C-alpha cells in the first residue's frame, strides 16, 4: 500500500480505502453542538491506538451560541502541529461553510449539512462536495428531538466511516463517556453513532485508512494543556492554591478545586486576583508550596504580591495562560506577550524564575519543574503557557506516577536557631521555617516585604541592601548553572538558527524539516528556561550566521519581540532579530517558511 496525503488519494474513487499517512479535519459549527467532544473522542481513540498519533486544537470558543471550530490532525508518525490547512472540512451551518472554505487545502473534501448549507456554485468545481442531511438524519436516528443534540455523535460516525477508524474502540469510548448518565443516554448516543457510521453513500464509504505507524507505542494519556498543568501540580505535591476565574486560566482552577480534596488539599476561589495570589503565598508560608494563576489582566493585578514573594523569598508557583493583550485584549486568542511581565513585572529589582511549556506533555513536566524550583530556591516561579496549548488536546506517553508523585511533608522539626535570610550561604539559598516550628534559641523569624536583615527585621542600611539584593539575584545564577542547555534541532552550527519558546516548538520543528533543502543550513532552538537563561547559551548563538527569534508578539519600536529583547540585552549580539506575528492566531508552518525566506532574501539583497 502506498502512503499518500488526502488530496493525492482523493483523485480517484476506489472501493478499497486509500492508505494515507495523515489527515487534518476541521469541524465548524456552533459551540452548543458539542463539536469539541468529537475531538475528545478522536484524541482518546489515538491515545488507545498503537498506530496513530494525533493532535488537535480549538480555535476561538465562545459562550453558547457562538461559532466554534475544532481541528484534528491524525497521523501515523509524530504530529507536531495542528496542521495549516484542513484536508476535510465538516460545515454544519452556512456560516461555517462560508467562513472556513479558505482553510481547506487544494482538492480538499467539503462535507456539509445539507439541511443548513446551500453550496456556492463557484466552489462546487473547486472542492469535492459531499452533502449529507446531518440534522434530519440525526433526528430520524435518535427519535425526533428538535434540539439538534446528537449531531456531533452522528458526525463522529461519518468520520469513522470515512477514515476506517476502529469502531469497536470508538463505541467503547462512547459507552464510557455516557455510562454515568444512564442507559438511555448511552443507547441514544450509540444509535446516533451507528446511524452516522452506516450512512450509505458512494461518495463516502471507506474513503481512506490511516497507515500503520512505526514502533508500537506504550500507554498514552489524553488531555488538554491546562489539564496537564493541573495534574502536574498535583503530581509535584501542590495541595493548596487560590485563584479567580479568567479565560483561559479558569480550567486549571476548576480542575484543582475538583481534584485537590482527594489528596487532602484545597483550592480556594477568591474575591479577586490580589486576594488569590496573597492567599497562595499565605499557604506557602504555612509550609507547603502553593499555586495561583491567571491570564492577561489578572497577572498585572498580581504583580505587587509577587514582588513581595521575591523580597520575602517565599516559594510560589504562578501559572500564566497567556492571551492577547494589553488590557482585556483578546481573551480567547493566542499571543506570547506576557514574557516581559513574567520576567520583570513589578517595581524594584525583583528576580524570579520563568519557564515556558511547549506542548501538552511539556505542560505536565514544566509544572512539576516549577514546583521543585520554587521549593529549592524559595522564589516565585512563573509557568507560561498560552491559549494554543491550553485547550489543545494531545495524547502522550503515560508518566510513571510511582516515581514522579511527591507528597510534600510539613516539616516542623525544632531547630536550634534560624535566620530566614542567612547571608552566609554563598549560593543565596535560604530555607523557611513554617509557623509551628520551635526555634530553640527563642529568636523567631519575621518574613517581610521591607528590606530586612538576616532575621527579617527592617533595615535601611546601604551595605545590607547591597548584600540582600545580591542574595536574591545570586540564587538565580546558581539555578542558571544547573539548567540544561536548550535543545537544538538540525545542525549544531551553520547559517540560520530559529529560536522559539512556548507553543511555537511544533511549527518551528516542522518548518525546519520542510525548509532543510534551501541551499543553506537551518536549525531551531527551543527555550524552556527563560529567566534565568541557562548557562552555555552564549556558546551556541555565535555558531550561527543569523539568529531569528520567532515569537507571537509585537516586534516593537526597535524591530524585535520580547524574547529577542531579553537575548539582545544578555548577549549584546546585534545579529539577533525578530520574526514576529500579532495576528492572534498560532504560527502556521507555511508562514514561518515564508517569513524566513523573505528575511534571508532581504539580507542577501543588502
Partner 1 sequence: MSDSATLEQPTQDAGDRQPVTKKEITADHPTWCPGCGDFSVLSIYYKLIQKRNIPHENVTTVAGIGCSSRFPYFVQAHGVHYIHGRALSFASGLSLSRPDLHVFTFGGDGDAFSIGGNHFVHTARKNVKMTYVVMDNCVYGLTKKQTSPTSPLGFRSKTDGWGALDRPINPMKLAISAGATFVARTTHTNPKHLLEMMDAAMDHDGFSFIECLSECTEFYPGAFDASNPRKGGEFNLVPEDHDLTDEAAAYALASEDFPGRFGIFYQVDRPTKNALEAGVIEAAQDKFEGKSSSDILQATFNRIK
- Applying the rule CB under 8 A, the residues between 31 and 50 that interact with partner 1 are 44, 47-48
Three-state secondary structure along 353-413?
Answer: EEEECCCHHHHHHHHHHHHHHHHHHCCEEEEEEEHHHHCCEEEEECCCHHHHCCCCCCCCC
> Which residue in the set 244, 249, 285, 421 belongs to the binding site for partner 1 (CB under 8 A)?
285
Question: Could you tell me the three cell numbers for 443?
Answer: 529568636
Residue 308: helix, strand or coil by DSSP? helix
Q: Are 72 and 39 in contact (CB under 8 A)?
A: yes
Q: Please, is 371 exposed, middle or buried when counting C-beta atoms within 10 Å of its C-beta (0-12, 13-18, 19+)?
A: buried
Give residue 263's Cα distance to chain centre.
25
Minimum CB separation from partner 1 for residue 73, in Å? Answer: 20
The reply on whether position 465 binds partner 1 by CB under 8 A is: no
Minimum distance, C-beta of residue 313 to partner 1, in the bound complex (Å): 13
Residue 360 near partner 1 by CB under 8 A: no
143 or 282: whose CB is closer to partner 1? 282
Q: Is 208 in the site for partner 1 (CB under 8 A)?
A: no
Q: Which of residues 470-499 bind partner 1 (CB under 8 A)?
A: none
What is the gyration radius of the CA atoms in the chain, in angstroms?
A: 26
Residue window 361-380: x/- pattern of binding to partner 1, with contact defined by CB under 8 A: --------------------
The packing angle between helices 167-178 and 183-198, to 10°, is 150
- Cβ closest to partner 1, residue 242 vs residue 381: 242
State the nearest-atom distance from the C-beta of 284 to partner 1, in Å. 8
Instruction: Choose which of 29, 82, 83, 287 interacts with partner 1 (CB under 8 A).
Output: 287
At residue 230, the 3 state secondary structure works out as: helix
Select the residue interacting with partner 1 from 134, 275, 566, 589 (CB under 8 A). Answer: 275
Options 100, 239, 505, 568; binder of partner 1; rule CB under 8 A: 239
In 3D space, the residue among 449, 441, 433 whose CA is nearest the CA of residue 306 turns out to be 449
> Which of 469, 470, 452 is closest to 461 using CA atoms?
452
Work out which of 263, 348, 594, 597 binds partner 1, going by CB under 8 A. 263
What is the contact mask toward partner 1 in residues 289 to 318, using x (rule: CB under 8 A)?
Answer: -x-------------xx--x----------
Site for partner 1 in 382-401 (CB under 8 A): 398-399, 401
Beta bridge partners of 293: 319
Contact with partner 1 (CB under 8 A) among 147, 200, 262, 347: 262
Pick between residue 276 and residue 580 the one whose CB is nearest to partner 1. Answer: 276
Task: Give whole-number Cα distances, 164 to 20, 137, 209, 422, 603, in Å.
Answer: 11, 21, 5, 65, 49
Which position among 56, 109, 270, 343 is part of the footprint of partner 1 (CB under 8 A)?
270
Question: How far is C-alpha 126 from the chain's CA centre?
Answer: 35
Query: Does residue 235 interact with partner 1 by CB under 8 A?
Result: yes
CB 84 within 8 Å of CB 588: yes
Q: Does 108 bind partner 1 (CB under 8 A)?
A: no
Yes or no: say if 5 and 22 are a contact pair by the CB < 8 Å rule.
yes
- Nearer Cβ to partner 1 (237/248): 237
In terms of CB distance, is 27 or 223 closer to partner 1? 223
Per CB under 8 A, contacts with partner 1 among 68-87 are none
The C-alpha cell at 34 is 458539542
Say whether residue 1 binds partner 1 (CB under 8 A): no
Q: Which of residues 176-205 bind partner 1 (CB under 8 A)?
A: 176
Shortest Cβ 121–partner 1 spacing (Å): 45
Q: Smaller CB distance to partner 1: residue 29 or 225?
A: 225
* Site residue total, partner 1 (CB under 8 A): 77
Q: Binding of partner 1 at residue 340 (CB under 8 A)?
A: no
Rounded CA gap, 487 and 364, in Å? 18
Indicate the SS3 state at residue 422. Answer: coil
| Residue 542 found at the interface with partner 1 (CB under 8 A) | no
Q: Which is nearer to partner 1, 86 or 318 (CB)?
A: 318
CB under 8 Å to 117, separation ≥6 — which residues? 91, 92, 93, 94, 96, 97, 131
Q: Does 122 bind partner 1 (CB under 8 A)?
A: no
Q: Is 461 in the site for partner 1 (CB under 8 A)?
A: no
Q: Under the criterion CB under 8 A, does residue 514 sit at the interface with partner 1?
A: no
Distances (CA, A) of 459 to 253, 384, 454: 38, 35, 10
Find the binding residues for partner 1 in span 422-451 (CB under 8 A). 433-439, 442-450
Cβ atoms within 10 Å of 577's Cβ, excluding its own: 19
Buried-exposed string 452-486: b where 16+ CB fall within 10 A, e elsewhere: bbbbbeebeeeebeebbeebbebbbebbbeebeeb
Is 508 a residue that touches partner 1 (CB under 8 A)? no
- Region at 144 (left for phi over 0; alpha for psi -120 to 50; beta for the rest): left
Inter-residue contact 355 to 529 (CB < 8 Å): yes
Distance CA 422, CA 424 (A): 6
Candidate ranges 62-70, 136-144, 256-264, 565-573; the one touching partner 1 (CB under 8 A): 256-264
Separation between Cα atoms, residue 338 and residue 330, nearest integer Å: 13
Q: Which stretch, 24-32, 95-103, 258-266, 510-518, contacts partner 1 (CB under 8 A)?
A: 258-266
Does residue 550 bind partner 1 (CB under 8 A)? no
Residue 538 in the binding site for partner 1 (CB under 8 A):
no
- Select the span of 68-76, 406-414, 422-430, 485-493 touching partner 1 (CB under 8 A): 406-414
* Shortest spacing between CB 452 and partner 1, in angstroms: 9
Residues near 504 by beta carbon (within 8 Å), at least 6 away in sequence? 336, 358, 550, 551, 552, 586, 587
d(CA 595, CA 546): 14
Residue 266, interface with partner 1 (CB under 8 A)? Answer: yes
Which of 457, 465, 470, 597 binds partner 1 (CB under 8 A)? It is 457
Exactly one of 29, 82, 283, 486 binds partner 1 (CB under 8 A); which one?
283
Amino acid at each position: 500500500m502506498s502512503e499518500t496525503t488526502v488530496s493525492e488519494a482523493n483523485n480517484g474513487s476506489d472501493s478499497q480505502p486509500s492508505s494515507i499517512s495523515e489527515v487534518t479535519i476541521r469541524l465548524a459549527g456552533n459551540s452548543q453542538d458539542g463539536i469539541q467532544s468529537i475531538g475528545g473522542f478522536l484524541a482518546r481513540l489515538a491515545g488507545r491506538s498503537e498506530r496513530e498519533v494525533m493532535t488537535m486544537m480549538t480555535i476561538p470558543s465562545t459562550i453558547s451560541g457562538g461559532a466554534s471550530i475544532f481541528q484534528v490532525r491524525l497521523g501515523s508518525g509524530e504530529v507536531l502541529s495542528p496542521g495549516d490547512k484542513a484536508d476535510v472540512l465538516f460545515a454544519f451551518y452556512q456560516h461555517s461553510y462560508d467562513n472556513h472554505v479558505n482553510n481547506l487545502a487544494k482538492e480538499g473534501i467539503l462535507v456539509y449539512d445539507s439541511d443548513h448549507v446551500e453550496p456556492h456554485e463557484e466552489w462546487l468545481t473547486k472542492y469535492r462536495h459531499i452533502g449529507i442531511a446531518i440534522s434530519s438524519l440525526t433526528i430520524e436516528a435518535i427519535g425526533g428531538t428538535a434540539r439538534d443534540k446528537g449531531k456531533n455523535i452522528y458526525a463522529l460516525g461519518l468520520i469513522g466511516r470515512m477514515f476506517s477508524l476502529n469502531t469497536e474502540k470508538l463505541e467503547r469510548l462512547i459507552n464510557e463517556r455516557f455510562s454515568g448518565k444512564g442507559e438511555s443516554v448511552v443507547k441514544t448516543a450509540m444509535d446516533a453513532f451507528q446511524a452516522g457510521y452506516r450512512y450509505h453513500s458512494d461518495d463516502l464509504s471507506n474513503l481512506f485508512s490511516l497507515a500503520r505507524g512505526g514502533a508500537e507505542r506504550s500507554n498514552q494519556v489524553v488531555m488538554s494543556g491546562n489539564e496537564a498543568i493541573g495534574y502536574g501540580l498535583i503530581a509535584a505535591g501542590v495541595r493548596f492554591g487560590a485563584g479567580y476565574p479568567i479565560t483561559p486560566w479558569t480550567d486549571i482552577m476548576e480542575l484543582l478545586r475538583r481534584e485537590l480534596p482527594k489528596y487532602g488539599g484545597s483550592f480556594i476561589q477568591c474575591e479577586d486576583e490580589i486576594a488569590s495570589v496573597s492567599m497562595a503565598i499565605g499557604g506557602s508560608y504555612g509550609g507547603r508550596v502553593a499555586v495561583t494563576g491567571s491570564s492577561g489582566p489578572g497577572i498585572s493585578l498580581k504583580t505587587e504580591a509577587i514582588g513581595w514573594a521575591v523580597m520575602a523569598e517565599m516559594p510560589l508557583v504562578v501559572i500564566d495562560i497567556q492571551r492577547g493583550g494589553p488590557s482585556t485584549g483578546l481573551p480567547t486568542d493566542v499571543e506570547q506577550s506576557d514574557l516581559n511581565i513574567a520576567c520583570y513585572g513589578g517595581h524594584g529589582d525583583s528576580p524570579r524564575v520563568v519557564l515556558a511549556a511547549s506542548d501538552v506533555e511539556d505542560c505536565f513536566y514544566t509544572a512539576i519543574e516549577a514546583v521543585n524550583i520554587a521549593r529549592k530556591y524559595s522564589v516565585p516561579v512563573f509557568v507560561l503557557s498560552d491559549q494554543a496549548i491550553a485547550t489543545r488536546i494531545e495524547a502522550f506517553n503515560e508518566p510513571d506516577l510511582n516515581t514522579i508523585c511527591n507528597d510534600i511533608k510539613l516539616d516542623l522539626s525544632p531547630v536550634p536557631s534560624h535566620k530566614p535570610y542567612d547571608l552566609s550561604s554563598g549560593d543565596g539559598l535560604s530555607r523557611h521555617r513554617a509557623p509551628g516550628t520551635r526555634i530553640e534559641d527563642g529568636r523567631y523569624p519575621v518574613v517581610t516585604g521591607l528590606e530586612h536583615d538576616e532575621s527579617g527585621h527592617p533595615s535601611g542600611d546601604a551595605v545590607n541592601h547591597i548584600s540582600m539584593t545580591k542574595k536574591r539575584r545570586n540564587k538565580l545564577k546558581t539555578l542558571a548553572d544547573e539548567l540544561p542547555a536548550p535543545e537544538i534541532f538540525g545542525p549544531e552550527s551553520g547559517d540560520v538558527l530559529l529560536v522559539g519558546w512556548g507553543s511555537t516548538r511544533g511549527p518551528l520543528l516542522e518548518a525546519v524539516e520542510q525548509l532543510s533543502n534551501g541551499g543553506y543550513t537551518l536549525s531551531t532552538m527551543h527555550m524552556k528556561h527563560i529567566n534565568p537563561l541557562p548557562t552555555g547559551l552564549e556558546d551556541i548563538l555565535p555558531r550561527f550566521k543569523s539568529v531569528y527569534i520567532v515569537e507571537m508578539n509585537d516586534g516593537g519600536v526597535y524591530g524585535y519581540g520580547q524574547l529577542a529583547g531579553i537575548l539582545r540585552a544578555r548577549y549584546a549580539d546585534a545579529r539577533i532579530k525578530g520574526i514576529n506575528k500579532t495576528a492572534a492566531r498560532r504560527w502556521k508552518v507555511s508562514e514561518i517558511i515564508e517569513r524566513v525566506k523573505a528575511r534571508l532574501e532581504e539580507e542577501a539583497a543588502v
